[in-house]
Amino acid sequence: MIWRLRSRSRTICLSLAVVTASLYLLLLLASHSVDLQPCDALLPSKTHVLRDLAHQNLSPAGVQDSAATVHGNSSNRDASSEVRGHADQARKSVESGLSKLEALFNHPLYNLPCPPIPEEDLLLKVRPQVEASETNSQIWSEDKGVPWSSNSGSHPPWLQFHLGISRWQLYPHQDPNMELLVQQLAKHRIVSAVQKSGGTQLKLVMSFPNYGQALFKPMKQERDEETNYNLYYFSDFERHNAEIAAFHLDRILGYRRIPPAVGRLVDVVKEIKNVTTDRKLARTFFTSPVGSVCFYGLCSYYCSTEHAVCGHPTGLEASLAVMLPDLSLAKRRSWRSPWRRSYSRSKLAKWETQSNYCAKVKKTPPYNEGTRLVDFMDMVILDFLMSNMDRHHYETFEKFGNYTFLLHLDNGRAFGRHSKDESSILAPLEQCCRIRRSTWLRLRLLSLPQYRLSDIMRASLSQDPLHRVAPLLSDPHLVALDRRLKTVLETVDHCQRRLSEVFPQV
């Protein structure tokens, strides 16, 4: 009896094996036939699709309907549904981040009580009328015929920004003027465009009807394009989205030391070529073989037909950052960074070879007193988070001497690589083990899930006009921010352990 049961079990198992093998062969043949079918043409990346549609001035809903009409097959309808799913998920993520951003800016660490700013700690002051004989470089006077009075309510946003600059920051926390300033940068009519002198890459100065000015940096590469690993940091292109993202990150960190920057779609012909009075710039315009209007200007390195900036065919993405007060009104001093890189392909800098380098810096003015050293560490942390290796100099306002904040200018080479964290940027923090306590507390706050840096950064950038074209930073760059923040906090913890060993508590 037992033998018969075993025999039947073997027969059943063999039958099941045969059926399974047959089904497997059928599935294999079916999948083979699918692979041999002609494939649909690959859709462009989302960045290209959204940018092209932005130039057509279509709404997202109209875009998706048009795509379904053109392709009209089930595979593309599935792809469209998938895109809608991603869009919904992204929208929910942004909405969640916006609530986190609001909570962050309402946190006590960002709203510390501050006494009124004394007049001597303001960069500029207004006098309704100034005699011709008075030549104080730190007095802003009104031109005749301009309908502005000493009443701040009549001042345009850019002037309110200039008058709000103090010894310790460019603008106050949650400044109500900021929204108006950003709107004008993004929408105000451009009446003049001239090339800014100096620098290695193309930059323009754009002027508006209310006498405001902005620094223009054009788009040179796609947002999701990583910097070539074979390029040295000093050979990298500047990125328009990096300037915008740096402003948002600087504000999130509570520094407020980068001038407000905003993204804008500019018409190369109407808003640059037709309004420029710069003859040298005007001579560099040409039409590409595919009909795009291009220009390249004059500069040290990347100003040639091979590195031209082109519209699509005339639309061009760019960053516009509000200009700081003219040097005739507010002089600035340039300081060479103690941790400046050698800018050589073979030579190392002193800080890379001397183990006690920071001890020497601490004894050298202006780092031997005041807050200059911890101000510098703030800048180091900002640069590490956005992977900016190109900080060879920094500036301060001359009026305030050595007791003032550092201007975090020229951030176009940031956010080049998300897949690599450049640990050498943190060398000053590792060597000196100095950090401002308020900075450390805010960094710890941004590492918490309810204030996660990547979520807050995504939400903040979503408020920029160019976000409607495509996110200004790809997800890998946002993830890198969280990873690098963790590294900064680990570095501080390591410093604390090291100092506790040197100076044990009694």
Catalytic positions are 390
User: How far apart (Å, rounded) are the C-alpha atoms in residues 471 and 418?
Assistant: 15
H or E stretch including 380? Answer: helix 372-385
How far apart, in whole angstroms, are the C-alpha atoms of residue 472 and residue 468? 9
Tokens of 47: 């960045």
Two structure tokens written together for 95: 């909405």
Helix axes 74-105, 60-71, angle to 10 degrees: 160
User: Is 450 labeled as ligand-binding?
Assistant: no
Distance of alpha carbon 227 from alpha carbon 238, whole angstroms: 10
Rounded CA-CA distance 475/223 in Å is: 11
Q: Which of 338, 443, 310 is nearest to 382 (CA)?
A: 443
The token duo for 322 is: 């509000």
Q: Is 457 marked within a binding site?
A: no
324 assigned binding-site residue: yes
Q: Which two tokens stand for residue 499?
A: 């100092």
Closest CA to 406 of 231, 258, 274: 258
206 labeled binding residue: no
- Two tokens at 465? 């006009």
Long-range contacts of 195-201 (CB under 8 A, 24+ apart): 195/278, 195/280, 195/281, 195/297, 195/298, 195/299, 199/299, 199/300, 200/299, 200/300, 200/301, 200/302, 201/237, 201/238, 201/299, 201/301, 201/302, 201/303, 201/412
Tokens describing residue 351: 């800080």
Q: Are 165 and 247 in contact (CB under 8 A)?
A: no
Beta strand spans in 353-446 (E) = 393-397
CB atoms inside a 10 Å sphere around CB 38: 5
Q: Which residues of 332-366 are buried (b: 16+ CB within 10 A; e: fewer)?
A: eeeeebbbebeeeeeeebebeeeeebbeebeeeeb
Name the pairing type of β-strands 286-287 and 261-267: unpaired
- Residue 215: phi and psi, rounded to 5, are -90, 125
Residue 322 marked in a binding site: yes
3-state helix, strand, coil in the chain (%, to 5): 45, 10, 45
Residue 238 marked as a ligand binder: yes
Q: Which two tokens mark 161?
A: 């920004």
Please give the distance of CA 343 from its chain centroid, rounded to a whole number.
23
Q: Is 144 annotated as a binding residue?
A: no
Alpha-carbon gap, residue 216 to 211, rounded angstroms: 16
Residue list for the binding site for Mn(2+) = 238, 410
Residue list for the binding site = 201, 217, 238, 321-324, 395, 410
Residue list for the binding site for ATP = 201, 217, 238, 321-324, 395, 410
